[in-house]
Structure 1
Amino acid sequence: MMKLKNIFILAAVSLMSAMAVAQNVAIIPQPYHIDQQKGTVVLGAKPTVEVDDASLMPAAQYLSDAFEAQTGTKLKVVSKGGDIRLCLAKDGEEGAYSLKVERGGVTMSGSGYTGMINAIATLRQLLPVVKGEKVALPKINVSDRPRYGWRGLMVDCSRHFYTVDELKKLIDVMAYYKLNRFHWHLTDDQGWRVEVKRYPLLTVKGAWRHFNNQDSLCMANAAKEDMPNLLLPESKIRTAADGTQEYGGFYTQDDVRDIVAYAAKRGIDVVPEIDMPGHSLAAIESYDGLSCFDQTGWGRLFTTPMCPGKDKMLEFCRNVWTEMFALFPFEYVHIGGDEVDMKNWKKCADCQKRMADNGLTTEPQLQTWFNHYMEAFFRENGKKMIAWDDVIDGGLSPYTTVMWWRSWLPKGPKKATSHGNDLIDVPVSFFYLSTREDDTKLPGIYNFNPYETLNDNEAKLVKGIHSCLWGERVASVERMWYQLFPRLTAVAEKAWSMPERMNYDDFTKRLLMQLPRLEAMGVKYRLPDLTGLNRGNVFVSTDTVKVFCIDPSVTIRYTKDGTMPQQTSPVYTGPMAVTETTHFVFRAFGRDGRKGDAFRSDFVKDQLHEAVTTEQQFQTGLSNLWYDYPGDWCKGIEEAPLKGEYVTDGVCIPKEAKENIGLVITGYLEVPEDGVYTFRLYSDDGSQLTVDGVMVVDNDGMHDARELVGQHAMKKGLHPIRVLYFDHNGGDLRLKVEDKHGKEVKVRYWH
């Protein structure tokens, strides 16, 4: 794969002739058909809009508000003769639309209300970026339709809370990029965020907490990374009766109605998620009798779940959802169903009786029983149930829609669709936008293949593409924007655009032109990565430091003393020569002063390491030892019980290794010639790579999937390699080796 920096450079300086028109107007997601002609159409100082069907009046009002926000001019709604005409198509695919800008004005036709909303989204991206400029629209004819009917974003408001106004702004931006499902994660272990009138303690107690480890981690990282957007907003902190500080907030039922109506006007359906039976500690700690035993809390990884053996718990679940049904008109609801710690169920007399009464022999079957019980209740009330793909494990009903998130279990989509169940793809590897961004994430989203393991009939059950913003490390709305953008634009295009219209180089060109639009909307997107650097760089005599950023508006600053670059630090203006070991820290700064991620890049002067000379006969592959390791750091893996010994083709997780994975991978790699080699170590969770006894990449600790890069100078031949790795709930481990030109080297492994 071409290095990301080269892709961005290519995208910034060249146009693919077949897609030149689309790039000129820079619409995301890429429309199905665009025909652009020369010239523009200038709307008058007092532009108007008309509709040909009363059902489109809310869309006209929405367009008028959006038009004013972007241009400073409010559209007046008129009965006839409007500069912009909204027409309801009598047939056509759901969500499809056409848009034509010509001398007589703008005509938009939408297949249903949602089709018109999608047409408005395209028109908004043709308006001037700068507020107050005259409205000159390109003469253009667009015919467009969505690839998938489900194009979603989940926002976790339990771990960290976002206000109604903050969510409304997010919904506006979702509509701008034609996303149509707002998945609202309202409850979890760390907070209950929605009012339930029958159970007031859920918000009186469950919506507020003393600072927990997620709060303290955010505050610590804010200081460590010099990132103010990681701080807890003061507006969401209150002083409790005992004088201590509490964090939290919740949505009243009126708030929920407000959000649902606001989203509906923008063509977006709201899907509530109330987690059960796991991830329910906020409820369990608010009301007695919902868990198996009085003692509750955290286990090794997950919390005490609800008790499906107790009728009181079932009544609670029914009552909560009954109130939710009245608030959320969309046909789908989400029950969660993931990461349930069932140890208590094994010891609980109520659970064991429930199992015996229903002929169940395992605890996963008990969860399946509970899921089917709740699903029947949903169906009685005209609702359809969505659950995370964990529910596959105990057996699916034919009605559950499965959200596949466990990308380390690639057979999940096949299992769900072969059973006849609808599927929504949201693999954690790329579509969890709360993970740290690196240069693999954007192309990973864009190049994801939802049909990779499916036959034609199974592929028809894929409802669409989803993405998730989990809130553990997203403490503020500013951090929310930082995590979502620009990656959410790639999600939007993946979910909307037809594969034959998609091209990653073209997308990056359009994305670069979208950044000023995001800025104009007040979206403090994450400044693009600085490229051209590795965390660890090795040179033998001299080297040249070259730093790139695709965003021409940023200023790159650096330090050499290990401190964080600030506005007063030296400006990087071009390539710099290094002849001695130097420790750089680079950072981009936006025009508004906001800070990008700091990038530490060590340039270490070294010499070529000698190859191993031995007459020993080696076998191909690497030795891979699997330990039953529960720790959070690579150190200590070998002190755990050994569970298996394997030979693997390269650096990877043996297929036999499940849960509490601690790996020690050893052997030799054979390089084809003298030189400095680059090692890209990708892992979820921690990993370390040593070559010739030298730590080349230190990717240790509990973290989301990420790639770190280091270099090592070697002579041709064999060099000892050692990789340590751990994970406790499914993971990923990969190593790629490149030469000095950035070309992947197919090294051979021996043991």
Structure 2
Amino acid sequence: MKKISCFIISLATAGLLFSCSGKKEMREANYQVVPLPAEITTENGTPFTLSKATKIVFPQENEKMQRNAQFLAAYLEISTGIKPEITTTAPQKNAVILALDAVNENPEAYRIEVNENTITITGSSEAGVFYGIQTLRKATPVGENISVMYPQVIINDQPRFGYRGMMLDVARHFEPADFVKKYIDMLALHNINRFHWHLTDDQGWRIEIKKFPKLTEIGAFRKETVIGKNTGKYDGKPHGGFYTQDEISDIVKYAEERYITIIPEIDLPGHMLSALAAYPELGCTGGPYEVAKEWGVFEDVLCPGKEATFEFLEGVLSEVMELFPSKYIHIGGDECPKVRWEKCPDCQRRIKELGLKDDSKHTAEHYLQSYVTARIEKFLNDHGRNIIGWDEILEGELAPNATVMSWRGMEGGILAAQMNHDVIMTPTSYCYFDYYQTQDIENEPLSIGGYVPIEKVYSFEPVPEVLTPEQKKHILGPQANLWTEYIKTPEHVEYMVMPRIAALCEVQWLQPEKKNYEEFLKRLPRLLALYDKLGYHYATHVFDIQAKLMPNFETNALNVELSTIDDAPIYYTLNGEEPTTSSTLYEGSFTIKGDAEIKAVAIRENGKNSKIFHEKVKVSKSTFKPIVLLTQPAPNYAFSGPGMLVDGLFGKSSNYKTGRWMGFQNEDLIAVIDMLEPTGISKAEIRNAVVTGDWVFDASEITIASSNNDSVFTTVKSEKYIDAKMENWSDVVTHTLTFDPVTARYFKVTVKPSIIPAWHPGKGNRAFIFVDEIVLD
């Protein structure tokens, strides 16, 4: 790359030349955008040139198309500095023409035709035209004082899913109305058409309800907020806020103009402490209650034994329906403990009146929640609306017309589709954007935990193969969620969402056979250039070194592959020294057989170097040896398979979702390691990740056994462990077992989970155990 002295090339716009003299530079549009259109057919001929003389033409007396034209003019001005005039009179040339026609039956389909004189965007509806505008916008290069050539092309495109969602929680941390509009603009840029707005929770009530003014007078504010992850320490700062009904009406209109439907969520009957603080008579105990200052699931919930509770809910939802024209109203239904109901005379009377009883599947209290859901659904159905609920609404009897939002995995969605209910897929493992997006969490803002990198989002397939063709039709589409317990500012919201939302939008828009992660990464920098222009705060991990560290059991070594999105040169060391251009240049994969401390950096001419990649490899006698699991890990926590237990790589924290920890719950971890030849061993080391708040506990027992024939094993050492703590905690626990030297070819390692103790909400259940490495020396 040539060095240009009069400007700095930003990372995302590398390769674009800016004028030093102020004279317009000519750039070429690139139709390889995000999301990728279904069909792009390039044509020979003179390109269309965008200039100050270009006009945008829209049909007369069509307010939506006029607004589309205004959007396009504004978008082009942001990207190029040129703001075309909009008109209803088409000139003979140099025009961008917006038109409506039956492109196909999909109302969001569009067609773009570019020739020398015109660009024509034709949509099946005004929404289809809007998505065509987004494609043209993203195809347009970003710069200052530039003209643009658009090569001749025909683009035909339509989305895979009619429901393309993104959620924002404003209950945990309130965000101002202006930022909510900015968030809607972010969704529009990514062709998302549903905004799930989580407006109420234990920590705050954010929507004005005129019939119940105390909801915002009291329920919208908490005295202070817990520091960190329920540490018991608080910041001493009041937090709160709410949206007036006028503000909400304005935001709803703003979204509609961008063809986005807002789906409000009023979570019930649980997650209602903010409402109970305002109206304590709606609880089972009568209070007093307080707007929650910390995070979690709380036992105080609405009392369904009182008729006043339903009068309250119907009053709230009546005003919600007046504000939101959405077909769907989200009623939550998740994480509702039944503890108060079990002892509440009003609830028990209601259970008796309804004839609800325990059975082999659920308790009577579970069926009481089903009654609440069904009653609220009927009320909303009578007003022409339908409900969405989290997959907990499957526990008991599913309301007749309910749509299920499956978040605890895909299983709830599969079950609902098999019951002929509509489903929105939003599993935590792919779609929770409050999870960390890198394993290097020490250098990240505080997050709730988990691990959902951009490549994981991109790999999501929302329609399970196990469903029949008819059942698959019930999968309305995928959605990602952003919960804000640890996300306080608009900038942090943007950072957690982007660029993962770009991967999400391709999952939502493209047919699965069109998806290609490597090609997506090549297209992504042009979108990031637009992020820069719009002033968005986004994560830049895609520009860091991507490493594949794979144990090779044939060579008994670790294979290391390094890469970058832009093929920037990589320099590395294996002794822990900081890498520079004087270090070893990466020229292809290499292997490691002994202890090493890898450090690598991508060095770019523009000075935008990557973060330093850092990984320690610790080799023991068991490392890179063949391993067989005799038990099955939990389905979501098998990751790369048994080899990860002897790859010399360790979890960097107790975050058990990074792919470094293998998880077991319903079975012990039992593994047999083949040392390949008789080997003397006198020590074993097992590490457990512990996050008791997530039902992840320390091991209860570890046993080491040896054999020379892989069939008859003799116990070498066994130790039992007791967790004496009486409160939630998290850490990495290392267990070291020493014993007299034993020489054998095969070693069997058994790690038993704990039974959750009585102080914990999961008492009596079998806990998870997570192990990162089995070290034998």
Same fold (TM > 0.5) = yes
1:433 counterpart residue number: 433
The correspondence of residues 25-424 of structure 1 with structure 2, limited to 5 A, is 25-38=31-44, 40-53=47-60, 54-55=62-63, 56-81=65-90, 83-90=95-102, 92-213=105-226, 215-217=227-229, 245-295=237-287, 301-361=297-357, 362-407=364-409, 410-424=410-424
Change (3 A) 1:33 1:664: same
2:9 counterpart residue number: none
Q: Is the 8 A contact 1:218 1:473 kept in 2?
A: no
Q: Distance in 2 between matches of 1:492 and 1:469?
A: 15
Aligned partner letter, 1:52 = P
Q: Distance in 1 between matches of 2:59 and 2:368?
A: 54
Q: Larger deviation: 391-400 or 73-82?
A: 73-82
Match of 2:481 among 468, 482, 494: 468
Q: Distance in 1 between matches of 2:585 and 2:703?
A: 29
Aligned partner letter, 1:45 = K
Change (3 A) 1:360 1:516: same
Q: Larger deviation: 326-335 or 42-51?
A: 42-51
Q: Distance in 2 between matches of 1:669 and 1:453?
A: 34
Q: CA RMSD in A?
A: 4.8
Change (3 A) 1:325 1:346: same
2:656 counterpart residue number: none
2:503 counterpart residue number: 490
How big is the shift at 1:211?
3.1
Aligned partner letter, 2:34 = I
How big is the shift at 1:378?
0.8
How big is the shift at 1:607?
6.0
Aligned partner letter, 2:422 = D
Q: Larger deviation: 414-423 or 501-510?
A: 501-510
Q: Which runs of 5+ in 1 are unaligned?
A: 1-11, 13-22, 222-231, 238-243, 613-617, 626-649, 658-662, 695-699, 705-714, 738-746
Q: Is the 8 A contact 1:688 1:723 kept in 2?
A: no
Q: Larger deviation: 362-371 or 581-590?
A: 581-590
Q: Distance in 2 between matches of 1:350 and 1:118?
A: 53
Q: Distance in 1 between matches of 2:139 and 2:687?
A: 40
Q: Larger deviation: 180-189 or 680-689?
A: 680-689
Q: Distance in 2 between matches of 1:264 and 1:611?
A: 59
Q: Is the 8 A contact 2:622 2:675 kept in 1?
A: no
Q: Distance in 1 between matches of 2:476 and 2:80?
A: 36
Number of aligned residue pairs: 634
SS of residue paired to 1:135: strand
Change (3 A) 1:132 1:571: farther
Q: Distance in 1 between matches of 2:729 and 2:97?
A: 54
Change (3 A) 1:316 1:27: same
Change (3 A) 1:610 1:536: closer
Q: Does 1:718 align with 2:746?
A: yes
The correspondence of residues 650-661 of structure 1 with structure 2, limited to 5 A, is 653=664, 657=666
1:458 counterpart residue number: 471
Q: Which runs of 5+ in 2 are unaligned?
A: 1-13, 15-28, 358-363, 439-451, 635-660, 680-685, 706-716, 718-722, 732-742, 757-761
How big is the shift at 1:118?
1.0
1:742 counterpart residue number: none
Q: Is the 8 A contact 2:556 2:625 kept in 1?
A: no
1:226 counterpart residue number: none
Q: Distance in 2 between matches of 1:176 and 1:525?
A: 14
SS of residue paired to 1:30: coil
Q: Distance in 2 between matches of 1:499 and 1:299?
A: 37
How big is the shift at 1:65?
2.3
Change (3 A) 1:719 1:46: farther
Q: Larger deviation: 77-86 or 440-449?
A: 440-449
Relative contact order (alpha carbons < 8 A, sep ≥ 6): 1 or 2 greater?
A: 1
Aligned partner letter, 1:531 = Q
1:632 counterpart residue number: none
TM-score, normalising length from structure 1? Answer: 0.73
1:630 counterpart residue number: none
How big is the shift at 1:447?
4.1
Aligned partner letter, 1:264 = E
Q: Distance in 1 between matches of 2:617 and 2:34?
A: 39
Q: Distance in 2 between matches of 1:488 and 1:734?
A: 30
Q: Is the 8 A contact 1:99 1:142 kept in 2?
A: yes
Q: Is the 8 A contact 2:218 2:278 kept in 1?
A: yes
Q: Distance in 1 between matches of 2:602 and 2:143?
A: 23
Q: Distance in 1 between matches of 2:170 and 2:599?
A: 34
Q: Distance in 2 between matches of 1:396 and 1:606?
A: 53
1:670 counterpart residue number: 674
Show CA shifts across 1:250-292 (max 9, x none): 2121221121111111111100001110111111112221211
How big is the shift at 1:674?
12
Q: Distance in 2 between matches of 1:420 and 1:601?
A: 48
Q: Larger deviation: 480-489 or 724-733?
A: 724-733
SS of residue paired to 1:532: strand
1:647 counterpart residue number: none
Q: Distance in 2 between matches of 1:93 and 1:624?
A: 43
Change (3 A) 1:732 1:129: farther
Show CA shifts across 1:512-531 (max 9, x none): 44332322222222122533
Q: Distance in 2 between matches of 1:197 and 1:598?
A: 54
Q: Is the 8 A contact 1:279 1:303 kept in 2?
A: no
Q: Is the 8 A contact 1:218 1:475 kept in 2?
A: no
Q: Is the 8 A contact 2:625 2:675 kept in 1?
A: no
Q: Distance in 1 between matches of 2:625 and 2:126?
A: 68
How big is the shift at 1:555?
11
Aligned partner letter, 2:100 = L
SS of residue paired to 1:289: helix
How big is the shift at 1:85?
0.8
Change (3 A) 1:459 1:582: closer
Q: Distance in 2 between matches of 1:36 and 1:273?
A: 44
2:547 counterpart residue number: 532
Q: Distance in 2 between matches of 1:453 and 1:730?
A: 28
Change (3 A) 1:197 1:121: same
2:642 counterpart residue number: none
Q: Is the 8 A contact 2:545 2:563 kept in 1?
A: yes
SS of residue paired to 1:143: strand
Q: Is the 8 A contact 2:271 2:297 kept in 1?
A: no
Q: Is the 8 A contact 2:598 2:616 kept in 1?
A: yes
TM-score, normalising length from structure 2? Answer: 0.71
Aligned partner letter, 2:367 = Q
Q: Distance in 2 between matches of 1:588 and 1:470?
A: 33
2:19 counterpart residue number: none
Q: Does 1:506 align with 2:506?
A: no
Show CA shifts across 1:581-631 (max 9, x none): 77678789999999988865224476667999xxxxx99814999xxxxxx
Change (3 A) 1:672 1:43: farther
SS of residue paired to 1:49: strand
Q: Is the 8 A contact 1:398 1:419 kept in 2?
A: no
1:4 counterpart residue number: none
Q: Distance in 2 between matches of 1:670 and 1:420?
A: 49
How big is the shift at 1:456?
1.3
Pick the structure with greater CA Rg: 2
Show CA shifts across 1:90-128 (max 9, x none): 463111111111111210111112111111111111111
Q: Distance in 1 between matches of 2:214 and 2:611?
A: 41
